[in-house]
Structures are given as structure tokens and as C-alpha cells.
Amino acid sequence: GGGGGGGATGGADDGASIDVTSLDDGATVSIDDVPTGEDVEADLGDAVAGEGVTLQSLTFDYRITPDDYRVEITEVGAEPTGSADELTRAEAIGYLDIEPIGTDQIESTEIGFTVEDDALADGAAADAVRLYRYDDGWEQLETDHAGSSGDVHEFVAVTDGFSSFAVGTATADVTVTDAALSDEQVIADEPATVTATVENDGDVEGSATLALTIDGEQRDEIDVSVPAGEQTDVTFTTALDEPGEYAVAVDEVTAGDLSVVESAASAESDDDSIVEEQAPGFGVLAAAIALLALGLLARRR
């Protein structure tokens, strides 16, 4: 078949008869004489396209070989189709709708499409492109980057249902979810350890620079990469030379309050000073005992 009305090709003995008709708002694919037990591939040419996105082909796998049917496809547009919401967790490139009419025997469909470099979000790689299907929420479909030709990238995705679809660039979502101190008290100049848990709720691997802050001032930073849907732990080590209480956080996630105390040598020195201050004359207690002894001696005399 082909765009602009197309024409039936083949018959029951040579393969299904496929006719692709271009419309102002998309295309209709008419499929007749489906051979028993065979998949059917419809080449769409340029009948369904949008800003930087072109639907190339649909390959149907059947549970039971259907009678004649057709598939209605909307043009690729900038707004969601049907009752679908805007795409989340990804930068939308284009939306479309694919709906078979006259059969419910399609087991799965392989969707081939292309995306041009200019349609990708700033800094996004072609490997981040995904096809999504809306079913009470957007579901990411298994999408393979099949190859590239110049600034055009080819993709293949598989769906087991039909409704609204979106082509989008998957994004990472790397955040600190927890932070904790290994010890709440340390001696001045000795290292304190802070551990942060970092999660990536996005659909592609992501990187982030984590900042360790003490009393709101940045003390250290670490670069981290987290695979899609996974988490990892990052450890900071720092030392403070002034005794006191300090608020510790990683990327604004509170790790706790760190108490820094004087060093052991300093504490021991302070204890010696206290003893030296009390030692002369044995202090008040020693003087009292001496006076009592003199009193008893005077009475005996």
C-alpha cells in the first residue's frame, strides 16, 4: 500500500491486501484477505507524520486470523489524543492514536517509527526515546533503537493494546531520599561520616552532584550516577575543629545534628587544672579538719 489512497497489493495466496489512505488528520489502513497463521506488515510510508516524528510501519500478530478490518490512525500532534493526560516522566515529542476497527483478534503489534535529531529535547540522546501507551496512565513500552541514518533515528516498539500513544524522551529523576550520621558525637578534628541514599525514579540512567552542608554552608560535594529505577548509597567524610552543635544535611535532606566535643587531651588538661586549683592547703575541707583537731587538743589540755 501507500499514501494518498494507495492500492490493494497481493491476495490471499500472496499475502494480505493492504491499502493505506492518507487523510487530513491521519490515515486509514484497510487490511483484507489475511493469510491464516501469518503476521501482516503495513508499510505506512509518510502517511502519518508530525513535527520530527513519522510512523513507519505496523506489524500485526493475531490470536486468531481475522476477517477484513481497518486501522484508524491520527496524525502525530502536539497534544494528547482522546482522554489521555499529558505525558509524565518524559519529554513529549508527539501524540497519536491507533485503533483497529472490525477485529479484536490482534495479539500484539510492532510499531516502527522514526525521530529526527531536531525533535529531541536539549541534551537528550536518541537512546532515551520511548513509545508510551495510555491505559489509565502512561505505560512505557519496550522500545528498541534500531539504527540511525544521518539525523534520523529508527525505533521499534511492541504493544498488546491500542489507545492513545506518545513518543517521548525518557528522563532521569535522581534525588536524595535519606541521610544519616554514623555517630551523633565526635571529638574535634576527628572524621564524621554522613551516608546519603540516592534514588533514580526516572526511566534512564541519571547523574547528580550531591552537596554536603553544615549549618547551611557547603562543605563537600560528590558526583554520582544511578541506573533507572535503582538506588545507591553515597558516603561523605568530614572533620570539624571547633566544639559545638552543627546541623548536617545532604542536598537539603537533614542527616541530623552533630555534636563536636573537645579532644581527649584537652579534656584531660582541663581536669588537671581543676585539681591544681583545689590542691593548695588541701582546700576548705582540709582546713576544717585541721581546726577541729586543734579544738580537741585544746580541750584535752
- What pLDDT does residue 42 have? 96
- What pLDDT does residue 274 have? 44
Report helix, strand and coil shares of the chain as percent, to nearest 5: 15, 55, 35
Q: Locate 252 and state its grid cell.
A: 537539603
CB atoms within 10 A of CB 264: 11
- What pLDDT does residue 265 have? 55
Whole-prediction pTM: 0.71
Residue 91 confidence (pLDDT) above 70:
yes
- Tell me if 75 sits within 8 A of 26, measured CB to CB: yes
What are the E-state strand segments in 50-149? Answer: 53-62, 69-74, 90-101, 106-116, 129-134, 138-140, 143-149
Q: Residue 230 burial (CB < 10 Å; 0-12/13-18/19+)?
A: exposed
Q: Cα–Cα distance between 248 and 136 in angstroms, integer?
A: 42
- What pLDDT does residue 14 have? 59
Give the length of the chain: 301
- pLDDT single digits (tens) 132-171: 999 999 999 999 999 999 999 999 999 999 999 999 999 8
Mean of pLDDT over the chain: 87
Q: Where are the alpha helices (DSSP H) in 60-185?
A: none
Helix (H) or strand (E) segment spanning residue 121: none
- What pLDDT does residue 286 have? 53
Coil/strand/helix, residue 278: helix
Coil/strand/helix, residue 52: coil
- What pLDDT does residue 203 have? 85
Q: DSSP class of residue 280?
A: G
pLDDT tier, 11 (very low <50, low <70, confident <90, very high otherwise): very low
- pLDDT single digits (tens) 241-299: 999 999 999 999 999 999 999 976 554 554 454 444 444 544 555 555 555 555 555 55
Residue type, 18: I
In the beta sheet, which residues pair with residue 93? none
Residue 106 confidence (pLDDT) above 50:
yes
- What pLDDT does residue 179 have? 97
Q: Which residue has the higher pLDDT, 171 or 113?
A: 113
Q: Rounded to the nearest 5 degrees, what angle is found at the Cα of 117, between the Cα atoms of 112 and 122? A: 120
